[in-house]
Structure 1
Amino acid sequence: MTDKNEPDAPSHGSDSWLEAELADTLDEDFELELSEPALTDELRKVYKGTHPPGIDRRYYFQNLLRLQGELIKLQDWVVATKKKIVVVFEGRDSAGKGGVIKRITQRLNPRVCRTVALPAPTDREKTQWYFQRYVPHLPAAGEIVLFDRSWYNRAGVERVMDFALADQVEQFFQDVPEFERMLVRSGITLVKYWFSITDEEQQMRFLMRIHDPLKQWKLSPMDLQSRVRWEDYTKAKEDMFARTNIEEAPWYIVEGNDKKRARLNCIDHLLSLIPYEPVPHKGISLPERVFNPDYERKTLPVELYVPEKY
């Protein structure tokens, strides 16, 4: 019996592509993984003291590549069957939503799978039906849409930061179950994820962002206020679960303290919810290039070329 925490042994045949892809793209994925800042020695000690040993790097990439291969199969199935999928990603600031979205979309066709991350509503949008600005981003047949935060802003940040009146919040809670049932009745598969991290983990991630000039842009005044109002957000989250966890679109909680495990667990779970099947493809062969003996390639002006500095 194989320990599920051990990397799968290299195999021949159907899994050979995985080993080849792992060898070819490790540098690319490593670059994506350069997400931890140059911590001070003090922060590094605290971080190591609060985290168990991380997941084995090779095991992580092997499984990430395998799951991304399945996501491609899912994408092909969605296109072939003209299905419509919406995945909502919610959670506290720095909980890892963006990281898993990036790994889901990394190898997919952006014309099929796209991410929606809306800014704060404009003055005009504030006068519209609350769900109106989200509706244009819903998928057509053969599309997958990932919401990096969603209409649940009203149940979270808008409620906690007093951007919405109490009666607006109450109206949202009355409307959202029926709104989501309407989406499901229209043929949309709706999946909702909440990324959960501890108080201590969020504090550590915020400190890491503060000390990393490449990530300071991720910290907004609203993020900093979320630290002050941690308990208010907790109460809002619990109320949101109680009132919006409907049978047609239940909530799924992803434990997010370990980013890599959270990514693998979320992608694996998403794939398990959708009954996709392999789609047959016609064989692809490269056609012969046509050579015209009278054609001469022109020399372009040197100033058109990007300087080769590297």
Structure 2
Amino acid sequence: MDHKEVGELHRRLERELLDSYDEELELELDDQRFDEIAAGTSQPSTADERSKRRRYFTELLRLQGELVKLQDWVATTKHRVVILFEGRDAAGKGGVIKRITQRLNPRVCRVVALPAPNDRERTQWYFQRYVPHLPAAGEMVLFDRSWYNRAGVERVMGFCTDEEYEEFFRSVPEFERMLVRSGIQLIKYWFSITDEEQHFRFLSRIHDPLKQWKLSPMDLESRARWESYTVAKETMLERTHIPEAPWWIVEADDKKAARLNCIHHLLGEMPYAEVQRPTVALPARVRHPDYTRHPVPPEMFVPAWFR
């Protein structure tokens, strides 16, 4: 290629790189719109807010670069990791999970978000439906809620008996120690928000048609039972905070700070190092003189509504 072609290629690569960052920008703008709807305003951000947003983006992209290094290390060393994300409804668990997984290979880092157990699962050993989702060598598994449902929503909403509840607390430390002994690194996060902040986030979802699907009848019921959930959370932390798998509390009223703090802490919990990769050389395409590309019928193309 001549200098002009090389320059154009570089410009296209730069545009592609910027486009790859748009996904996070779209998520951020969605969050911003979400807050404006709840506040009943669409006022332009102040200089301080814009500066804070730039710092947030800068640090998030840096941390995501480290997550890519972590992913490579996990895959290379065959490490196994389970990360639990627990917290009240609207505490921001999904937001941080999105930022962790956003630039990672789903074959290495995957998310598990199980629905309520079906009739058959209710008759199984309590931990049985979680076991098939545990990582194999070279995998990271993020549980968006986990076996701690029994200590939270099941306890508060009466979905388990007192005997099942007590058996859970007898079993879960041994279950987690067994995971750790088998070579699985287990990290547990609780996202903590205030009553006022949850109230605000629920109002935001109620007034945003793109977010209303996030509000279930169970979420609304959790508002009425705030104190019961608090008691259940305190009991859970007290009885399952073990040396082999301690709880880590993420203060989550500021969702951007919570994301950065959680990712930073997660990276600090992992003994990873950058994996050196061989230089990649793109091979030239092989062309055969007898090859003819078959035309595609026009009716097979998706209409170009957007240009």
TM-score by length of 1: 0.88
Q: Any idea what SS the aligned residue of 2:257 has?
A: helix
- Give per-residue Cα distances to partners, 1:33-68, cap 9 Å, x unaligned: 1133375586559xx9xxx96871111111111101
Runs of 4+ in 1 over 4 A off after TM superposition: 19-26, 38-45, 52-55
**Higher mean C-alpha displacement, 238-247 vs 297-306:** 297-306
Aligned length: 287
Matches within 5 A, 1:176-191: 176-191=172-187
CA displacement at 1:27 relative to structure 2: 3.1
Instruction: Specify the alignment match of 2:22 in structure 1.
Output: 27
Contact in 2 for aligned 1:195/1:256 (Cα 8 Å): yes
CA displacement at 1:28 relative to structure 2: 2.7
Matches within 5 A, 1:1-310: 23-33=18-28, 34-35=30-31, 36-37=33-34, 39=36, 43-44=40-41, 56-310=52-306
CA displacement at 1:293 relative to structure 2: 1.2
Q: Any idea what SS the aligned residue of 1:37 has?
A: helix
Structure 1 unaligned regions, length at least 5: 1-18
Contact in 1 for aligned 2:38/2:203 (Cα 8 Å): no
User: In 2, Cα distance between the equivalents of 1:201 and 1:128?
Assistant: 37
**Higher mean C-alpha displacement, 33-42 vs 68-77:** 33-42
Q: Residue 79 and residue 27 in structure 1: after superposition, are their counterparts in 2 closer, same or farther (change >3 A)?
A: closer
Contact in 2 for aligned 1:55/1:260 (Cα 8 Å): no
- What is the percentage of aligned positions where both structures have the same residue? 68
User: In 2, Cα distance between the equivalents of 1:43 and 1:100?
Assistant: 26
Contact in 1 for aligned 2:38/2:207 (Cα 8 Å): no
What code does the residue aligned with 1:30 have? L
Instruction: Specify the alignment match of 1:16 in structure 2.
Output: none
- Give per-residue Cα distances to partners, 1:196-245, cap 9 Å, x unaligned: 00000000000000000000000000000000000000000000000000
What code does the residue aligned with 1:219 have? L
CA displacement at 1:93 relative to structure 2: 0.1
Q: Any idea what SS the aligned residue of 1:130 has?
A: coil
User: In 1, Cα distance between the equivalents of 2:55 and 2:154?
Assistant: 40
Q: Residue 54 and residue 292 in structure 1: after superposition, are their counterparts in 2 closer, same or farther (change >3 A)?
A: closer
Q: Any idea what SS the aligned residue of 1:95 has?
A: coil
RMSD of aligned Cα (Å): 2.1
Contact in 2 for aligned 1:88/1:192 (Cα 8 Å): yes
Structure 2 unaligned regions, length at least 5: 1-13
Q: Residue 235 and residue 54 in structure 1: after superposition, are their counterparts in 2 closer, same or farther (change >3 A)?
A: farther
Contact in 1 for aligned 2:151/2:232 (Cα 8 Å): yes
User: In 2, Cα distance between the equivalents of 1:170 and 1:176?
Assistant: 10
Q: Residue 291 and residue 54 in structure 1: after superposition, are their counterparts in 2 closer, same or farther (change >3 A)?
A: closer
